[in-house]
Amino acid sequence: MHHAFIPAHGLRPTGTHHEIYLSDARRTAPERLRTILRQPVESS
């Protein structure tokens, strides 16, 4: 995300990223874990 997607779209990261866990790692098989990654960006 930081080295390929964001620069390829003419953006640069700003601020702190956020991780939102949709699955409970204690109860979910590793291949079924889901996380949303949010990174504030601005035009470069």
Cβ atoms of residues 25 and 33 within 8 Å: yes
pLDDT of residue 1: 84
pLDDT of residue 22: 97
Domain-by-domain residue ranges, the chain?
Answer: 5-43
Handedness of CA 6, 11, 17, 22 (dihedral sign): negative
CA dist 10 and 23 (Å) reads 32
Supply the pTM of this predicted model: 0.70
Q: How far is CA 22 from the centre of its chain?
A: 13
pLDDT of residue 14: 95
Assigned token pair, 39: 């990174």
pLDDT of residue 44: 84
1-44 residue pLDDT tens: 889 999 999 999 999 999 999 999 999 999 999 999 999 999 98
Beta-ladder partners of 10: none
